[in-house]
Amino acid sequence: MTTTLAIIAFCVVATLTACGARESPRPPLEEDLAAIEAFNQRYLKAINDEDIAALSSLTTEGHIMFAPNRPPIVGKAANDEANGRAFEQFDFVETWTPVETVVSGDWGHQRGTFTVVAIPKAGGERRELSGNFLRIYERQPDGEWRMIRDMFNSDGPPAGN
């Protein structure tokens, strides 16, 4: 009988402990959507301001960019290097229009459209591109959202066609 009571007591304590160990409640969806929008505004401002330090601070070590007709750019250092090269060669005017944002726990994704104008710093013809994007976000341990995957394509045919 004592063994049975001990087992029952253990099960009750284990169940109560498990119930009390639940994750802290998530913010309401509206707050997550607003936080992702605020993140996007900071990220877009860093691009348009050619602020490599700000842009780098908004990426994670595992950030991967998938650009058309190129291998993936894997990791913060590789992204910083690619962005630095682009900023040396061009001034950018970029806009984003989110179409759909979905949040599930600590993960989110967003699809939308973009336009970018790249103006060569050495002179020459400006390049204009519009297309679609799909981004994946992850809530960080500090509660902030970060883009961890960035994929995009253009609406037009590949260059040279």
Task: Tell which residue, 158, 135, 144, has the closest CA to residue 65.
Answer: 135
Q: What is the mean pLDDT of residues 44-49?
A: 96
Q: Where are the beta strands (DSSP E) in 9-72?
A: 59-66
Predicted local distance difference test score (pLDDT) of residue 21: 42
Q: Tell me the C-alpha distance between 91 and 80, whole Å.
A: 16
Average pLDDT over residues 9-23: 48
The two tokens of residue 130 are 């519009």
How confident is the model over 101-143, as pLDDT tens digits?
999 999 999 999 999 999 999 999 999 999 999 999 999 999 9
Neighbours of 46 (CB within 10 A): 19
DSSP letter at 161 equals -
Residue 66 phi/psi, 5° resolution? Answer: -110, 105
14 touches 42 (CB < 8 A): no
- Rounded to an integer, the average pLDDT of 42-58 is 95
Question: Which pLDDT value is given to residue 156?
Answer: 78
Q: What per-residue confidence (pLDDT) applies to 14?
A: 52
Look at domain 27-154 and name its CATH class.
Answer: alpha beta
Q: What is the dihedral angle through the alpha carbons of 136, 100, 113, 89, rounded to the nearest 10 degrees?
A: -30
Distance CA 43, CA 47 (A): 6
pLDDT of residue 2: 58
What the block records as the tokens of 151 is 């994929």
Q: Is the pLDDT confidence value at 56 over 70?
A: yes
Strand-by-strand arrangement of the 90-104 sheet: 73-74, 59-66, 145-154, 127-139, 107-120, 90-104
